[in-house]
Amino acid sequence: MKSRPVQLLIALVMAGALAGLLALFALALALLGDPGDAVTPLTAGRLALALLALLTLVTMLGVSLVWLERKQLGRMQGRVGPTRVGPFGLLQPIADAIKLVTKEDVSPGASSKAIFYAAPILVFVPSFVVWLTIPLSRDLVVRNLDLGVFFFIAVSVLGIVGLILAGWSSNSKYAILGGFRSAAQLVSYEIPLILGALSVVMLAGSMRFTDVVDAQASVPYIALAPLAFAVFFIAGLAEVGRTPFDIYFAESEVVGGPFVEYSGAHWAVFFLAEYVNTFVVAALGALLFLGGWTWPFGDLGQAAAVALFLGKTYLLAVVIFWVRATFPRLRIDQLMMVGWKALIPLGFVSVIAVAVQRFYEWPVWTLTLMSLAALGAAVAVQLRAQRSGAVATAKRYAQRAVAVEPSRRRERTQA
């Protein structure tokens, strides 16, 4: 057992390593050059170096979520989570990765090998590519695209293809069921995700991430459009398959869904992609709704801004894991119902509310009011439909229980 100061020291070293990674990222950005540059060995090498730095950063951010989730779930469930590897178990994901990579890589005999092995990459690449446009602070961004939000949505959809291919090429019934489920789920939830983001884009008047964040310098959009945030966040949960929407790899039903036949390093890539996706959704939530690297009390330095943004992102990630610790999983038809009958109409309400507020140039608090009213109505309807009925039933059962009185009275033999 290491002593606490040593642990703190190692934790500090690891925090420093993360900061170093970020610095490396910044350096790589400087090296990246302009798109107009001629392709020479030098520019190609710089490009490769920059991409490598980006890949490392993205991987580390995803891996950090693995640790956060295990630790947080442990604490929420009356356990301590990983403690053995490294300080506070910080190196646990690394140990897991080493274990996974060194494991035997098995593929089913009847699988379509090429597709089977391509599928993990097809899943991981989109979750990596979206990082080309996600800014860590105003200047720390690979390409500050005009259509950043659009690019994110367009690219993140591509991950579905990998999931379906993984399910189909495994030649397993569980995998194909999971593949179908993922197709239905991800395509359905793409729409509310877009509608939620659209409200923000309309508010900010730009699709550039940095513009959206700058527009929130005084008031973050979660205060203006809580409805859009709710729709975006729930759809985001579904998009990355977090509980209660982890239907396509539901452990107790389809035993891992598309991933059921994967092992070793290929499975690790799926696993990593899942956590990178989670980080992306949390980061987008922080960018679009929580004000990214800004806060209402003036400008921040570069390092503080990045730290603030990462803090907000991890906050959303904590909420995502908190949801996981609380809720069971929905059923496929309920998932579709939530998506099509609840989230999409609410998304449209949100868009219309923003449009009305913009068009008539009402004060912004009217938008908050409209959003909250719609959200409250939806929650009230849902609660009335389900929970109150169950509570009434439970009360009735408590009253209806057959009371059994002692049929014999026991005489005491001792004083």
Contact with other proteins (CB under 8 A) among 158, 255, 265, 342: 255
Q: Which stretch binds other proteins (CB under 8 A): 102-110, 161-169, 193-201, 239-247?
A: 239-247
Among 24, 325, 342, 364, the residue binding other proteins under the rule CB under 8 A is: 325
Alpha-carbon gap, residue 143 to 132, rounded angstroms: 6
Q: Which stretch binds other proteins (CB under 8 A): 34-42, 59-67, 209-217, 385-393?
A: 385-393
Give the relative orientation of helices 41-76 and 264-288 as an angle to the nearest 10 degrees.
Answer: 90
> In this complex, which beta carbon is closest to other proteins, that of residue 58 or of residue 250?
250
Closest contact distance (angstroms) between CB of 6 and other proteins is: 30
Three-class SS state of 295: strand
Residue 214 CA to residue 295 CA, distance in Å, equals 10
Helical spans, DSSP H, in 246-331: 264-288, 302-326
Shorter beta-carbon distance to other proteins: residue 82 or 126: 82
Considering the rule CB under 8 A, would residue 324 count as an interface residue with other proteins?
A: yes
Closest CA to 200 of 363, 355, 317: 355
> For residues 317 and 73, is the Cβ–Cβ distance under 8 A?
no
- Assess 40 for contact with other proteins (CB under 8 A): no
DSSP letter string, 365-395: HHHHHHHHHHHHHHHHHHHHHTHHHHHHHHH
Tokens 């495994």 locate to 170
CB of 167 to other proteins, least distance (A): 14
Which residues are CB-neighbours of 130 under 8 A, at least 6 positions away? 151, 152, 155, 156, 280
The site string for other proteins over 154-193 (x = CB under 8 A, - otherwise) reads: -------------------xx--x----------------
The neighbour count for residue 312, using CB atoms within 10 Å, is 22
Distance of closest approach, residue 382 Cβ to other proteins, in angstroms: 7
Asked if 2 interacts with other proteins (CB under 8 A), we say no
Distance CA 4, CA 298 (A): 37
Question: Minimal distance in Å, beta carbon 289 to other proteins?
Answer: 23
* Cβ atoms 320, 282 nearer than 8 A: yes
Q: Does 218 bind other proteins (CB under 8 A)?
A: no
411 near other proteins, rule: CB under 8 A: no
Q: Is 214 in the site for other proteins (CB under 8 A)?
A: no
Q: Give the Cα separation of 109 and 170 in Å (integer).
A: 9
Q: Which of 136, 330, 353, 354 binds other proteins (CB under 8 A)?
A: 330
Interacting stretch for other proteins, rule CB under 8 A, among 188-196, 233-241, 356-364, 407-415? 407-415
Measured between alpha carbons, how far is 352 from 95 in angstroms, rounded to an integer? 49
Stretch that binds other proteins, among 4-12, 132-140, 213-221, 379-387 (CB under 8 A): 379-387
Neighbours of 407 (CB within 10 A): 5
Q: Is 84 in the site for other proteins (CB under 8 A)?
A: no
Buried b (16+ CB within 10 A) or exposed e, 85-124: ebbbbbbbbeebbeebeeeeeebbeebbeeebbebbebbb
Candidate ranges 81-89, 103-111, 250-258, 278-286; the one touching other proteins (CB under 8 A) = 250-258
Q: Is 3 in the site for other proteins (CB under 8 A)?
A: no
We find the least distance from the C-beta atom of residue 67 to other proteins, in angstroms, to be 17
79 is an interface residue for other proteins by CB under 8 A: yes
Type of residue found at 312: K
Q: What are phi and psi of 57, to 5 degrees?
A: -60, -50
Residue 329: CB minimum distance to other proteins, A? 3
Residue 377 as a binder of other proteins (CB under 8 A): the answer is no
Q: Is residue 46 within the footprint of other proteins (CB under 8 A)? A: no
- Chain positions 135 to 154 lying near other proteins, rule: CB under 8 A, are none
Q: List residues near other proteins by CB under 8 A.
A: 73, 76-79, 173-174, 177, 243-244, 246-247, 250-255, 324-334, 382, 386-387, 389-391, 393-394, 396-398, 400-410, 412-414
